[in-house]
Structure formats: structure tokens, C-alpha cells
Amino acid sequence: MKGETHISTWVPAAIKHRFVLIAKARGVSESALLRRVVEQALMLGDAPQIAARADAERALRSARLSIRLEADDCALLRSRASERCIPMATYVSMLVRSHLRSQPPLPTRELTALRESVSELSGIRRVLTQLVCSDAEGGHALHRGDLEAILRACEGLRDHVRTLMRTNLESWQTGHAQDHA
């Protein structure tokens, strides 16, 4: 152990737990596994370059931006973020990402509505499957009224999703979340 030194770090409990499980699965101590990981990292390339790259990536991931807003702009921002039930900083981040990537975000409320629509479609599929199976087993054939009701439900759901998507796109372009129920 002469000439050796100690390396330590703090990690979240979940990472520590996973690391312990990996060490146990390999039949080595946590220290032995960590030593192997460090040695492998050093074999991949020049340590200063790896460290500099890791520092740059960490800085990019945690980039923060401070801005000053006029009082009325801040009030408008607060209002619009509140309409979408998200924090102001999240709203601004979503706007910036939407603008830079030309991909309007889908906040939780809109995503929930889409999930509910998918659930409705699943229900329609189940009913259709039951009707087809019943017809195949010599049961009651589908009636025109049944088919028309199913068609109306599908068209209504299609229109609802179409409106939801249009509203979402428009709201990110204008900044207003509007309810079109």
C-alpha cells in the first residue's frame, strides 16, 4: 500500500445501492470494484482530457440563466405558467426549448387528456372485439345503429385530439393556454 492514496466521493443513495449490488454480483468488495472502474477510465485516454470533458458536460447539463423582467412581464409570465400548472422557470425553459427545437412541449394536463383519449379508444376496441366474437359465435349481428354509434364516438375522439393538439401548438405560439372542452 506504500505510495497509494485514497479516492472518495459522495453519490445518491440509489447509485450507491446499485454499485453495492454490482460488486456483490461480481464477488468483489466495493473498493475493488471502484479501483477497477478508475483503472478502466484511465486506460480509455488521457485523464486530464477525460476530466475536462466531464467538467464541460456537467456545466452544460446544469447551465443556468438569469434574466431581468419588467414587473408587468413577470406578472404575465406568472399568470401563463399558472394556467398550465407549472413553475415559472419550467414554463420559460419549455418556451426556450420549444423555440430552439421547433417542438412545442406537451404539459401534464394536455398529456393526461391524450392518455384519457387513448383509454377511450381501448374501450371502443374492446367493445368491437366483443361484437365481432359474438357475431362469429352465432350471436347477434352488428346493427347499423351500433356501427353508427361507434363511428360517432371515434369521430368525436378524433376531433377532440385534433383540437387538443391545435390548441397546444397555438398556445405555445401565442403564450396562452386555452380550454377547448
pLDDT at 71: 93
End-to-end CA distance of the chain: 71
Domain boundary among 61, 88, 117: 61
Nearest-5° Cα angle at 105, 160 to 82: 85
Is 95 inside any structural domain? yes
Give the list of residues 6+ apart from residue 22 with CB closer than 8 angstroms, or none: 33
Q: How many CB atoms lie within 10 A of CB 154?
A: 14
Higher pLDDT, 30 or 42: 30
Please check the confidence at residue 62 and state whether its pLDDT lies above 70: no
Does 157 lie in the same domain as 75?
yes
pLDDT at 6: 83
Does 35 lie in the same domain as 85?
no
Domain that holds residue 37: 13-61
Does 110 lie in the same domain as 21?
no
User: Which tens digits make up the pLDDT trace of 93-117?
Assistant: 888 887 787 776 777 777 777 778 8
Does 82 lie in the same domain as 40?
no
Does 91 lie in the same domain as 154?
yes
For the chain, give the mean pLDDT.
Answer: 77
Does 92 lie in the same domain as 46?
no
Counted domains in the chain: 2
CB-CB contact of 157 with 63 (8 Å)? no
Best mean pLDDT range from 6-20, 97-111, 160-174: 6-20
- Residue 175 DSSP code: S
Please check the confidence at residue 20 and state whether its pLDDT lies above 50: yes
Does 102 lie in the same domain as 56?
no
Does 19 lie in the same domain as 95?
no
Is 43 inside any structural domain? yes
- Residues 165 and 158: their CA atoms lie apart, in Å, by 11
Q: Can you tell me the mean pLDDT for 161-166?
A: 78
CB-CB contact of 117 with 181 (8 Å)? no
C-alpha 87: how far from its chain's center? 16
Does 102 lie in the same domain as 17?
no
Q: How far is the CA of 66 from the CAs of 63, 72, 89, 92, in angstroms?
A: 10, 18, 10, 11
Is 24 inside any structural domain? yes
Does 121 lie in the same domain as 48?
no
Is 30 inside any structural domain? yes
Is 45 inside any structural domain? yes
- Residue 2 DSSP code: T
Q: Can you tell me the mean pLDDT for 119-125?
A: 80
Please check the confidence at residue 173 and state whether its pLDDT lies above 90: no
Does 159 lie in the same domain as 89?
yes
Please check the confidence at residue 177 and state whether its pLDDT lies above 60: no
- Residues 147 and 11: their CA atoms lie apart, in Å, by 59
pLDDT at 72: 93
Does 163 lie in the same domain as 94?
yes
pLDDT at 137: 66
